[in-house]
Structure 1
C-alpha cells in the first residue's frame, strides 16, 4: 500500500498553474528530484510506484490496486496494476506494461486523482466478480470508508446480485477471510454466528449451531510457534467445555475451498454442531 503523504504525479499544465517554470522543472529533472514518466507528465522522487506506473500508462490507479492503496482488504490473487483511464482516456505503451485498464466514466479534481471508494468497488465487481467485491465492500464498511451516500450511489449502479451482496454485507467483519467464508457458506443456510464470545476461549470467528467453532487464521497473526501454541491452548479450552474447533488458514480458504467446505459439512452432517 502506498502512503497518501508521498509526493504526487502531475502534468506540466498542473505544475505551471502552481507556479513551476520550465527552467525550474528542467533543474528538478536534472537533479533527480523529479522524473519524466512520459511527455508532459512528471513524478517527484519517491512517488508511489503504483501511481507512477498508472500515470505512465495514461491514468490513475483503479480497482484492486486502488483498494490496496486505500488500505482495504483484498485477496492477493491479482497483483497486476489496474489503471483508470476514465471514459475517454488514452493508454500509452511503457516498459514492462502489464496494466489492466478501466474505462468507466467519472472525473476527479486532478489529472491523476484516485477514484472514490464506491467507484473502486464497482470496478472490482465488474473486473473481479462478486466474491472479491463482497470482501472489499465489507472491509470498506468496517473502516467507515463508505458513506451512506456512497452506498446509495453504488446500489444504483450495480445489478441484482450485487445488491443482494450489499444487503448481506455488514460493518463489523473482522477480516476479509471471514467475509469470504461467510459469503461462501450463505447458500447452505447454516446457523452461523460471527465474533461470538465462548466461555474459557474468548472471541471466536464463527460459531455454527451450538458448539462448532470455526477459526480462519490470516498468516500475519498466526505465524510462529508462540501463536501456534496460543491457538492450541484455545482449542483445548474449547474442547473442555464441549466445543469442537475447525481451524483454516488463508491458503485453504482462498485456494482449497472444497476441502474447507467438506470439513465443515462433515461435522454438520454428524450433528457435531448441536448440543
Structure 2
C-alpha cells in the first residue's frame, strides 16, 4: 500500500482516519513522518510537504475549497486570483475565509473540494457578474455541465443576480478576454456577432454592426514568421472584403476599456478618432 500516493490522491492533505480507512496503517504514517515525507499539521491531520495551501486551510477548517478558490483546481478560466479564501463549511464559525455553506451536488471524490457545479453556483452568487461569467463560460464550453442544471440550483428572488450573471454566458468565447470584450461591446448597445464567419476570411472574434471586425489578440499571438504572414494576409482579405478592422491586446481590453470603446464608437459613427 503506497501511502504517499494515497495521500496525494486525497489532495496531499487529509485526516489520518481517511488514510487508515483506505488501508494505510498508522505505522506507515509514522514511518513517513520520521523521514519527513509527511508532515503532521496537528493531531489527526497529515500532509505532504508540497500540499496546496488552500487544501491545507480547508482541511484545518473542516471545509472544502470552492468558488474562485476552486477555479484553478478545476482548470477554469478566471480573471483574478482570489483576495480571500473561499470555502464551504457546514459550521458557521471560523474567520479568514468566505463561507459558502449550501451544497447541491456531491463533493469531489478525493480532494477537499466541492463539486464543480457548486464551484460555479457559488461563483455566480458571490463574485462580480463578469468574473463569474468567465468561469461559467469555460465550464459550459467544455461540456462540464449545462445551463439548465445551473438554473435549477438558482431558484427564487434571492438568486436573481446570479441568474443575471449566468445570462452573460453565451459559450462563444475562446479565452477569458473574449468574454470580457463581448460583454463590454454588448453593454454599449452595439449589434455584436461573436465568432462570426466571413466569406473568404473565416472566423473573426467579433463583427460589430455588420461591418466592423474587432480582433482580440493574446500576448504571444504570432508564434513564428509564417504565422505573422498568414495573419497579415487574413487581415488584408478582411479589408478587401469591405470590412473595417480594429485589433486590441489583452491589456487594451482589461485595463483600457474606455479607450477601446471610444475608438469603436468613433469608427461606427463615421467620426475621425483623435
Instruction: Give the TM-score range, shorter chain.
Output: 0.7 to 0.9
Whether the 8 Å contact between 1:88 and 1:103 is mirrored in structure 2 is: no
- Helix, strand or coil at the partner of 1:36: strand
Distance in 1 (CA, whole Å) between partners of 2:59 and 2:89 is 13
- The Cα of 1:150 is off from its aligned counterpart by 3.1
Q: Which moved more, 1:263-272 or 1:171-180?
A: 263-272
**CA distance 1:229–1:162, change in 2 (3 Å):** farther
In the TM superposition, what whole-angstrom CA distance separates every residue of 1:57-97 from its partner, at most 9, and x where no partner exists?
A: 5533222221121111111x2344624142316548xxxxx
Alignment partner of 2:194: what SS? strand
- 2:143 counterpart SS class: coil
Name the CA distance, whole Å, in 1 between partners of 2:107 and 2:203.
Answer: 42
CA distance in 2, matches of 1:259, 1:57: 45
Task: Name the stretch that deviates more: 99-108 or 231-240.
Answer: 99-108
Residues 51 and 231 of structure 1: CA distance in aligned 2, closer, same or farther (over 3 Å): farther
What are the ranges of 5 or more consecutive residues in structure 2 without an aligned counterpart?
A: 1-7
Q: Any idea what the Cα deviations from partners look like across 1:189-215, whole Å, max 9, x if unmatched?
A: 222111122233321111112221111
The answer as to whether partners of 1:119 and 1:154 remain within 8 angstroms in 2 is no
In structure 2, relative to structure 1, the CA distance for the partners of 1:163 and 1:114 (3 Å cut) is: same
**Residue number in structure 2 paired with 1:150:** 149
Residue in 1 that maps onto 2:181 = 181
**CA spacing shift, 1:233–1:134, aligned 2, 3 Å:** same
Offset from partner CA, 1:253-272 (integer Å, 9 cap, x none): 11211111212111111189
Q: Is the 8 A contact 2:86 2:99 kept in 1?
A: yes
**Residues 76, 135 of structure 2: 8 Å contact kept:** yes
Q: Distance in 1 between matches of 2:126 and 2:220?
A: 27
TM-score, normalisation: structure 2: 0.80
Question: Which secondary structure does the structure 1 equivalent of 2:206 belong to?
Answer: strand
Matched, 1:102 2:88: no
8 Å contact kept, 1:135–1:176: yes
Structure 1 residues 56 and 235, CA, compared in 2 at 3 Å: closer, same or farther? farther
How many aligned residue pairs are there?
A: 262
Aligned to 2:18: 14
CA contact (8 A) 1:6 1:47 kept: no
Aligned to 2:139: 140
C-alpha root-mean-square deviation of aligned residues, in Å? 3.1
Which is worse superposed, 102-111 or 12-21? 102-111
Unaligned runs of 5+ in 1: 93-98
CA distance in 2, matches of 1:57, 1:14: 16
> Is the 8 Å Cα contact of residues 206 and 213 (structure 1) preserved in structure 2?
yes
> Within 5 Å, which residues of 2 pair with 1:65-214?
65-75=69-79, 77-80=80-83, 82-88=85-91, 91=94, 100-106=97-103, 108=107, 113-147=112-146, 150-156=149-155, 159-214=159-214
User: Whole-Å Cα distance in 1 between the matches of residues 231 and 83 of structure 2?
Assistant: 35
* Residue of structure 2 aligned with 1:30, choices 11, 14, 34: 34
Contact 2:11–2:112 (CA<8 Å) still a contact in 1? Answer: no
2 CA distance for matches of 1:81 and 1:42? 24
TM-score by length of 1: 0.80
